[in-house]
Structure 1
Amino acid sequence: MKNIYVNLKRFDVPKTLGGVNGIADIQDWGSYILKNIKGGIKKYEGKAEFTFFMPEMHLLGALKELAGEKQPEIGCQGVCRTDVKKDGNFGALTTSLPAAAAKTAGCTQVLIGHCEERMQLAQVLAEAGVTDSTAVNRLLNKEVQAAIGQGMKVLYCIGEKENELENWQEVLGEQINIGLCDVDTSQVVIAYEPIWSIGPGKTPAGKEYIEKIAGFVKEKVSGIQVVYGGGLKKENAEMLASVSSIDGGLIALTRFQGEIGFYPEEYLEIVDLYLGGEGKS
């Protein structure tokens, strides 16, 4: 079974304020996306599972649009390290999204450890004078445990920066060993983000490199699925489909030039290219 994920980042920001949302009113955006993709993915029932990670503002509209349908699944873009506890913390977690709240809303999955989250955590720790490279992974481990404790599945992101290429095994090994310590990994899928290859002017990670990383991860965690988190798109969909050790991909933008953003019809084209190209060499 393949896994196709979408991270809709901050698609609750309209273009007038510097964002990339221009296809629907902010209040209707979540439901608009689901309305225009759920029919197109039905032909892949039994072959792939689909998940959309959405900003909090879009969650309820998207869930209402599904109206009990199982596909796609809706997830949030992170949870707080501290959760609500019966006869304890009733939810005094201002500015944070506890796993209990995400679960109550109807989220079944959560995205944890995305390179953007790792960077933000590292910046906060640096301001506090913390230079321990394991600290970010320890904090993410608490998030993973909180999510799984509420019965949600986790897409856990790992990846190395350009200055970490020479010791990538140590970097990724640490992210796995600490981030998933004492975790039920049957509830986890790993997304590999080659941070050094993402962005304008960067050389994309090639097939052999991606195969090497996927093999390394699967040796570290037996039975776990690995998806490509560096951006599943039209340009690489067929190549990624030919990598037998990769179990899916993570989509963000569908259009990177002109009116950049996420467009349902382009998402379905990427899905068709990836799942239709599965097995090609």
Structure 2
Amino acid sequence: FEMACFVGSVGSIGRSSFLSRSKTSNVSVSRAPTVTMMADRTFFVGGNWKCNGTKDSIVELIDQINEGPSIKDAPVEAVLGVPFPYISLVSEKLRDDWQVSAQNCWTGDGGAYTGEVSVDMLADCGAEWIILGHSERRHLDVLKETDETISTKAAYALGKGMKVMYCIGELLSEREAGETLTVCERQMQALKEAVSDYSNVVIAYEPVWAIGTGKVATPEQAQEVHEAVRSWVAENISAEVAKSIRILYGGSVSPGNCDELSTKPDVDGFLVGGASLKPDFLKIVDSYKNKN
């Protein structure tokens, strides 16, 4: 991931019912700057370990994180998205200025649901967050979670007192067809229909073509989509939510590109994949300093 490069020619973000604009990726979006400038949002960095790690490797990484500088009084939240079997281990060993997230949940309270894990179980193990809607769960053939499934999980988790990282983003074919904003709007609309309180929601924009590929949206591409999503929130949910909700960028984020991305006004942090399994993930967390 350290070799990830910015990609400046991966299609345009296209049109959407909430924006009136041309199909060029270098046109700024109207209205959103007012929302941006009035904001005071705490920087947020989430790590998504996916299906990776062993007890030994996890303990080694947690020890290295714990030896790093405290972020207790810093304007940043740092969260580790941990596979189910290791949530208790990480929760017990991780310093208390960091938080723990699960990567999925079930929508029932428990009972005869073999193989499922309830929100209550996750909370009991120490998780405070859940990652929902990640592209791998939306698009892998064996999963194919729908917008409705994901938004239902989000509403259930929030109702149980959990916090949610809600992922949105387009496929390469959708970007090339100019459908980026249409896809993000559809995914946000599903959340709107299921959720009324956004105080414990973080949005993560993850262009699918940039996840694990080494390709990264340019800072300008990321800002354009983030700004458009914030405008949609202002128009379809409320201006107050638009000012306060954090929108993260995800997709081959690394210590080598996080500083430039973090300078953009509507990039409120990152959801990091492979790089979160390495000690220099701390450098990505440290990019909050670019906001001050």
Smaller-chain TM-score range? 0.7 to 0.9
The one-letter amino acid paired with 1:195 is V
Question: Could you say which residue in structure 2 is the equivalent of 1:270?
Answer: 284
TM-aligned CA deviation for residue 28 of structure 1: 3.9
Confirm or deny that 1:78 pairs with 2:78: no
Confirm or deny that 1:188 pairs with 2:201: yes
Question: Could you say which residue in structure 2 is the equivalent of 1:2?
Answer: 43
Larger mean Cα displacement after TM superposition, 180-189 or 36-45: 36-45
Unaligned runs of 5+ in 2: 1-41, 234-241
The answer to whether the 8 A contact 1:83-1:100 is kept is: no
3-state DSSP of counterpart to 2:180: helix
Confirm or deny that 1:93 pairs with 2:113: yes
The one-letter amino acid paired with 1:56 is F
TM-aligned CA deviation for residue 32 of structure 1: 3.2
Distance in 2, Cα, partners of 1:276 & 1:224: 19
TM-aligned CA deviation for residue 201 of structure 1: 6.5
3-state DSSP of counterpart to 1:42: coil
Cα deviation, 1:175-226, whole Å, max 9, x if unaligned, reads 0011342312111100000112334474x21121111111111122223210
Question: Could you say which residue in structure 2 is the equivalent of 1:21?
Answer: none
TM-aligned CA deviation for residue 140 of structure 1: 0.4
The one-letter amino acid paired with 1:137 is D
Aligned-pair identity (%): 27
The one-letter amino acid paired with 1:262 is L
Structure 1's 195 and 124: CA in aligned 2 closer, same or farther, altered over 3 A? closer
Question: Could you say which residue in structure 2 is the equivalent of 1:106?
Answer: 126
3-state DSSP of counterpart to 1:50: strand
Distance in 2, Cα, partners of 1:46 & 1:231: 25
TM-aligned CA deviation for residue 277 of structure 1: 3.5
Question: Could you say which residue in structure 2 is the equivalent of 1:33?
Answer: 61
Structure 1's 53 and 201: CA in aligned 2 closer, same or farther, altered over 3 A? closer
Distance in 1, Cα, partners of 2:132 & 2:160: 15
Question: Could you say which residue in structure 1 is the equivalent of 2:173?
Answer: 163
3-state DSSP of counterpart to 1:37: helix
**TM-score, length of structure 1 as denominator length:** 0.78
TM-aligned CA deviation for residue 35 of structure 1: 2.3
The answer to whether the 8 A contact 1:242-1:277 is kept is: yes
Aligned positions of 1:145-156 closer than 5 A: 145-156=155-166
**TM-score, length of structure 2 as denominator length:** 0.75
Larger mean Cα displacement after TM superposition, 220-229 or 32-41: 32-41
| Paired positions, count | 239
Cα deviation, 1:7-51, whole Å, max 9, x if unaligned, reads 011113xxxxxxxxxxxxx33444432222134241463310110
TM-aligned CA deviation for residue 236 of structure 1: 0.9
The answer to whether the 8 A contact 2:213-2:252 is kept is: no
Question: Could you say which residue in structure 2 is the equivalent of 1:63?
Answer: 91
Distance in 2, Cα, partners of 1:93 & 1:75: 22
The answer to whether the 8 A contact 2:79-2:100 is kept is: yes
Confirm or deny that 1:50 pairs with 2:63: no
Distance in 2, Cα, partners of 1:43 & 1:147: 26
The one of the two structures with greater contact order (alpha-carbon pairs below 8 A, sep at least 6) is 2
Structure 1's 113 and 267: CA in aligned 2 closer, same or farther, altered over 3 A? same
Larger mean Cα displacement after TM superposition, 91-100 or 145-154: 91-100
3-state DSSP of counterpart to 1:95: coil
Which of the numbers 137, 159, 164 marks the counterpart of 2:147? 137
Structure 1's 169 and 56: CA in aligned 2 closer, same or farther, altered over 3 A? same
3-state DSSP of counterpart to 2:185: helix
Structure 1's 39 and 172: CA in aligned 2 closer, same or farther, altered over 3 A? same
TM-aligned CA deviation for residue 110 of structure 1: 0.4
Distance in 1, Cα, partners of 2:248 & 2:69: 19
Distance in 1, Cα, partners of 2:161 & 2:125: 13
The answer to whether the 8 A contact 2:207-2:251 is kept is: yes
